[in-house]
């Protein structure tokens, strides 16, 4: 019995249905696809800050001692997610006069434990609150909660998942933001 | 298999469904016993307390099958009625204090962290104004966030309850310091 399969079954059977985007404050119809993103900032909520900052610090120390390019160029999740989101939203948004800043507050980043993935299955997860605030007034234009969960069971799952899991799940996270803002789809996701 | 069952049981508890009524925001707030207080003719009136009672929004999957009714309006009504009005209002005061609640909202975010381990973050926001006589209303927005560790979704209840208590304490301080 694989734990990941069981978790997914339980999620399906429970009274809640997992949604990738949960709308907290809807975006008015007339603003769909009409917001021009200026800045993206990422912070960690109290649920996440200790765990994620600990991982970031450990990787930074490893990078200072190592000569491996991947470790030397390691960036914290807040930087990776902010850069990817800004980049992907810029590719999708239209020119508009309604300037907004995107504020992301991450609650959870969980990456697959390779040993657990081979033995019983495991998941990657990135979740957090997203607010689009008016750049001029600071007023919240829309708010949603994004939860990306990717199953990765067994050796095959790990092989398909490959490297750069943080970057991949960050790209998915930012695509859900773009969908919520009503942006046009990218040709290749 | 046994280990898997142990892993799954807390998850089932997190995902099972039930409704919680979160009351008692005034539980921990120090009060003057009623028999010691000679009641003033002035009052602290609360408007919009029914509007402030609300259902929490659960963000994310964990604990989202539960329903959380936050009775913060009812709690504030009790808390404000227990305030010693004579100690709060200046002796020259001739007007009641009116506390008007415009809106209250809360959200709950919980994480399941593995066997017998979970955390919930409860955030409560209360908006309104305080007025006395013909003075300009003092607008307030109080936001409180509380993190609770818990093996079950009771952590969601206690985090929102504690955040509601902190919101109520802040509002009572605003009322008490109105004339100062």
Q: In this predicted structure, what is the pLDDT of residue A12?
A: 44
Reply yes or no on whether the pLDDT at A24 is more than 90: yes
Q: In this predicted structure, what is the pLDDT of residue B36?
A: 47
CA–CA separation, B16 vs B10, rounded Å? 10
Complex ipTM > 0.90:
no
Contact present, A118 and A155 (Cβ < 8 Å): yes
Q: Which residue has the higher pLDDT, A123 or B111?
A: B111
Backbone phi, psi, residue B20, to 5°: -115, 135
Which stretches of chain B sit within 8 Å of chain A by CB? Answer: 1, 4, 7-8, 11-12, 15-17, 57, 59-61, 64-65, 107, 109, 111, 119, 121, 145, 147
Reply yes or no on whether the pLDDT at B6 is more than 80: no
Backbone phi, psi, residue A61, to 5°: -65, -45
Q: What is the tally of helices (H) and strands (E) in chain A?
A: 7, 5
Q: In this predicted structure, what is the pLDDT of residue B125?
A: 95
Q: Within an 8 Å CB–CB cutoff, is residue A108 touching chain B?
A: yes
**Interval B94-109: pLDDT, tens:** 778 899 999 999 999 9
In chain A, % of residues over pLDDT 70 = 77
Q: In this predicted structure, what is the pLDDT of residue B167?
A: 95
A106, A122, A144: which is closest to A2 by C-alpha? A122
The average pLDDT across B82-92 equals 71
Q: In this predicted structure, what is the pLDDT of residue A120?
A: 65
CA–CA separation, A139 vs B59, rounded Å? 21
CA–CA separation, A170 vs A49, rounded Å? 17
Confidence grade of residue A156 (pLDDT, cut at 50, 70, 90): low
Nearest chain A CA: its distance from B163 CA (Å) = 14
Encoded tokens for B85: 């009005």
Are A16 and B12 within 8 A, CB to CB? no
User: Which DSSP symbol is given to B60?
Assistant: S
Q: In this predicted structure, what is the pLDDT of residue A13?
A: 46
**Contacts with B, A 12-41, CB within 8 Å:** 14-16, 18, 22, 24
CA–CA separation, B174 vs B140, rounded Å? 9
Confidence grade of residue B80 (pLDDT, cut at 50, 70, 90): confident
Q: Which chain B residue's Cα is nearest to A17?
A: B61
What residues form DSSP beta bridges with B144? B124
A164, A142, A159, A161: which is closest to A150 by C-alpha? A161
Q: In this predicted structure, what is the pLDDT of residue A82?
A: 96
Q: In this predicted structure, what is the pLDDT of residue B20?
A: 75
Are A47 and B109 within 8 A, CB to CB? yes
**Interval A55-104: pLDDT, tens:** 888 888 887 887 777 777 788 899 999 999 999 998 887 778 899 999 99
What residues form DSSP beta bridges with B108? B58, B122
Q: Where are the alpha helices (DSSP H) in B41-121?
A: 49-52, 72-81, 85-88
CA–CA separation, A69 vs A78, rounded Å? 20
Q: Which chain B residue's Cα is nearest to A16?
A: B65
CA–CA separation, A15 vs A95, rounded Å? 41
Q: What is the average pLDDT score of chain A?
A: 83
CA–CA separation, B98 vs A20, rounded Å? 43
* Range from A23-32, B85-94, B108-117 that averages highest in pLDDT: A23-32
In chain B, % of residues over pLDDT 70 = 76
**Interval B133-177: pLDDT, tens:** 778 899 999 999 999 998 888 889 999 999 999 999 999 999 888
**B38 burial via Cβ count (<10 Å: 0-12, 13-18, 19+):** exposed
The average pLDDT across B51-61 equals 91
Q: In this predicted structure, what is the pLDDT of residue B13?
A: 57
**Interval A37-49: pLDDT, tens:** 999 999 999 999 8
Backbone phi, psi, residue A137, to 5°: -105, -20
Q: In this predicted structure, what is the pLDDT of residue A18?
A: 62
Q: Which residue has the higher pLDDT, B14 or A123?
A: A123
CA–CA separation, B19 vs A37, rounded Å? 39
Reply yes or no on whether the pLDDT at B62 is more than 60: yes
CA–CA separation, A143 vs A45, rounded Å? 16
Are B65 and A16 within 8 A, CB to CB? yes
By three-state DSSP, how is residue A93 classified?
coil
Q: Within an 8 Å CB–CB cutoff, is residue A3 touching chain B?
A: yes
Reply yes or no on whether the pLDDT at B34 is more than 60: no
């Amino acid at each position: 019995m694989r734990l990941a399969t069981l978790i997914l079954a339980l999620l399906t059977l429970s009274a809640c249905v997992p949604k990738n985007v949960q709308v907290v404050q809807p975006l008015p119809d007339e603003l769909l696809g009409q917001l021009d993103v200026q800045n993206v900032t990422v912070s960690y909520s109290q649920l996440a800050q200790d765990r994620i900052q600990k991982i970031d610090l450990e990787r930074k120390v490893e990078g200072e001692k190592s000569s491996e390019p991947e470790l030397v160029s390691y960036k914290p999740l807040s930087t990776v997610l902010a850069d990817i989101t800004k980049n992907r939203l810029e590719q999708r948004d239209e020119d508009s006069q309604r300037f907004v800043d995107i504020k992301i507050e991450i609650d959870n980043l969980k990456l697959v434990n390779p040993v657990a993935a081979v033995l019983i299955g495991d998941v990657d997860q990135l979740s957090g609150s997203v607010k689009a605030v008016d750049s001029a007034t600071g007023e919240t234009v829309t708010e949603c909660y994004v939860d990306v969960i990717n199953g990765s069971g067994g050796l095959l799952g790990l092989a398909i998942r490959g490297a750069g899991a943080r970057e991949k799940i960050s790209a998915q996270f930012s695509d859900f933001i773009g969908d919520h803002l009503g942006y046009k789809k990218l040709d290749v996701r | 298999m046994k280990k898997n069952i142990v892993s799954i049981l807390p998850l089932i508890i997190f995902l099972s469904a039930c409704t919680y009524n979160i009351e008692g925001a005034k539980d921990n707030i120090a009060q003057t016993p009623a028999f010691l207080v000679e009641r003033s003719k002035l009052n602290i009136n609360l408007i919009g307390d029914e509007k402030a009672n609300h259902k929490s929004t659960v963000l994310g999957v964990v604990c989202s099958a539960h329903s959380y009714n936050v009775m913060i309006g009812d709690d504030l009504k009790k808390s404000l009625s227990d305030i010693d009005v004579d100690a709060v209002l200046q002796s020259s005061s001739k007007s009641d204090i009116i506390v008007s609640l415009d809106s209250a909202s809360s959200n709950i975010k919980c994480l399941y962290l593995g066997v017998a381990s979970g955390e919930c973050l409860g955030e409560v926001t209360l908006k309104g104004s305080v007025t006395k006589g013909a003075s300009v209303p003092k607008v307030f927005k109080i936001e409180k966030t509380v993190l609770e560790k818990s093996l079950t979704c009771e952590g969601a209840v206690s985090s929102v309850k504690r955040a509601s208590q902190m919101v109520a304490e802040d509002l009572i301080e605003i009322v008490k310091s109105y004339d100062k």
